[in-house]
Structure 1
Amino acid sequence: MIEIYKKLPKTNCGECGDATCTAFALKVINSQRRIQDCPYVANKDSKLALNKPVATMDDNYSRVSYELEAVAKCVNFKDASAAIGGGYEIKDGEERITLKMINKPYEIRRKGLYENDTYCIDSWSKIIIYDYVRRQGRRSLTAEWVTLGYFTNTASHVKAFQRNAEEKIATKFNDNKQGLIIRCKELGGVAAQGQMRADYIYQFGLLPRIPLYMCFWEADDEFSASCKLFLDSSAEDYIDIEYLAYLVERFVEIFVH
């Protein structure tokens, strides 16, 4: 950490998002930040290069994705596809599991994860899909809609989730209900009914057995539009909750762009 700290401006300017250079250096060494996130390091010449490589978040994610890939390659493809709601086929003599994540098609082959017939290099896509395949939840949907905070060890994520996910959708479509409907359909959303009363309720497939329910209330004379996102309470049987939180935020980023 000291070695990293020496390369920083030591001004505690806060431009990286952390209060002090010491806090930033600690996160770098713990693979929670990249040293390039400091604008003063990123913009200087090679004299600021570290004397030895430091693991970054991307390195960490890549390592985890390959570890999960090794496990996923060894599952019984036919059984796994049935358990996770995917398709199973043999093409060119090779077993394949087909599935969609946020309405985007993927194939799991013995060689790895493929997108548009090309090996997928996105570490997060691999982590999420491989974790989903290896868990093979097998639990039926409960029809019990819950927020992210329902699941164990997610209390610390709730406020950030509301700000980074639900409020983004509400703000984006505050006075554009037609745009909301069009975007829902573009991402495979299906009008639904359920436990909540809202102006619009749409169901999306984050993964085949992990539905996401979006409830949207239009703006009126007193209040701005609002949005709540719900999951089926069975979701934790199918995917690690940390990965699930990221998957929902990823859905939102796609939805609002």
Structure 2
Amino acid sequence: MIRKFSLEHDRQSLFIRFAGRRYRIERSTGIVNWLNEALQTEEKADYNEVMTIYDVLCYSKENCRLANEWVNVASLFAVQGGSLEKGSSFFQEAGKYFDGNTKELAHACAALRGRKLDKGDAAYELDLFPFLPLILRFWESDEDFPASLQILTDKNVLDYMHYETLMFAITHIFERLKGNMR
């Protein structure tokens, strides 16, 4: 894991960045905490954070590599039903939350160290991990169309984590963005 992902480490801990935060994994117990930089304290990681970090570190294929080809997360070839089934409200609900708050969403993406992109009312490339980016594209609603939210991932994202874990990670990103918007 250390070599594969170029992890910072010492005898007691492994360190990894996830969604703009630095995490510490205690080697003897497996406990995962994140550094609250504002308070200079450690906070216990929540379920979505822990499961995403563990899945990437333990499940990812040996020679996982980015394809450098963006695909809509809803179109991943392995997706059959589940959270992104046609008519699902997973992205619709987040889109409704962000609607009317484009400036706040842009600020929240920047707070996660996102890199601004051109296409969309708010569009950013965000790092799930330093080695695994995603793109968030948001368009405000207008008189003809509801708000629209797209998440694009690298075509090989499922070489790094299970589909279900990708949904944990996206849920975590949405929660972080909402928290930064408040």
Structure-1-length-normalised TM-score: 0.57
Q: d(CA) in 2 for partners of 1:121 and 1:188? A: 19
Q: d(CA) in 2 for partners of 1:182 and 1:250? A: 17
Offset of residue 178 of structure 1 = 1.4
Instruction: Give the aligned partner of residue 125 of structure 1.
Output: 49
- Taking CA–CA contacts closer than 8 Å with sequence separation of 6 or more, which of the two structures ends up with the larger relative contact order? 2
Instruction: Give the aligned partner of residue 216 of structure 1.
Output: 138
Instruction: Give the aligned partner of residue 101 of structure 1.
Output: 18
Instruction: Give the aligned partner of residue 204 of structure 1.
Output: 126
Offset of residue 97 of structure 1 = 2.4
**Alignment of 1:176 onto 2:104:** no
Offset of residue 228 of structure 1 = 0.8
Q: d(CA) in 1 for partners of 2:23 and 2:68? A: 26
Q: Which runs of 5+ in 1 are unaligned?
A: 1-79
Change (3 A) 1:119 1:253: closer
Q: Find the residue that maps to 2:161 and give its secondary structure.
A: coil
**1:134 corresponds to which letter in structure 2?**
C
Q: d(CA) in 1 for partners of 2:46 and 2:105? A: 28
Instruction: Give the aligned partner of residue 256 of structure 1.
Output: 178
| Greater Rg over alpha carbons, structure | 1
Q: Find the residue that maps to 2:126 and give its secondary structure.
A: strand
Offset of residue 182 of structure 1 = 0.8
**2:133 corresponds to which letter in structure 1?**
P
Structure-2-length-normalised TM-score: 0.77
Instruction: Give the aligned partner of residue 185 of structure 1.
Output: 110
Offset of residue 119 of structure 1 = 8.2
Contact kept in structure 2, 1:214 and 1:230, CA below 8 Å: yes
Q: d(CA) in 2 for partners of 1:123 and 1:168? A: 21
Of Structure 1 and Structure 2, which has the larger fraction of its residues in strand? Answer: 2
Q: Find the residue that maps to 1:175 and give its secondary structure.
A: coil
Instruction: Give the aligned partner of residue 65 of structure 1.
Output: none
Q: d(CA) in 2 for partners of 1:208 and 1:230? A: 16
After superposition, give the CA deviation of every residue in 1:54-107 in whole Å (9 maximum; x if it has no partner): xxxxxxxxxxxxxxxxxxxxxxxxxx23323x53232xxx15321122212112
Q: d(CA) in 1 for partners of 2:87 and 2:58? A: 26
Q: d(CA) in 2 for partners of 1:124 and 1:173? A: 21
Change (3 A) 1:142 1:162: farther
Of Structure 1 and Structure 2, which has the larger fraction of its residues in helix? Answer: 1
Contact kept in structure 2, 1:120 and 1:126, CA below 8 Å: no
Instruction: Give the aligned partner of residue 38 of structure 2.
Output: none
**1:234 corresponds to which letter in structure 2?**
N
Offset of residue 225 of structure 1 = 2.7
Instruction: Give the aligned partner of residue 83 of structure 2.
Output: 157
Contact kept in structure 1, 2:2 and 2:9, CA below 8 Å: no
Fraction of identical pairs, as percent: 22
Instruction: Give the aligned partner of residue 88 of structure 1.
Output: 8
Instruction: Give the aligned partner of residue 32 of structure 2.
Output: 114
Contact kept in structure 2, 1:128 and 1:243, CA below 8 Å: yes
Q: d(CA) in 2 for partners of 1:121 and 1:200? A: 28
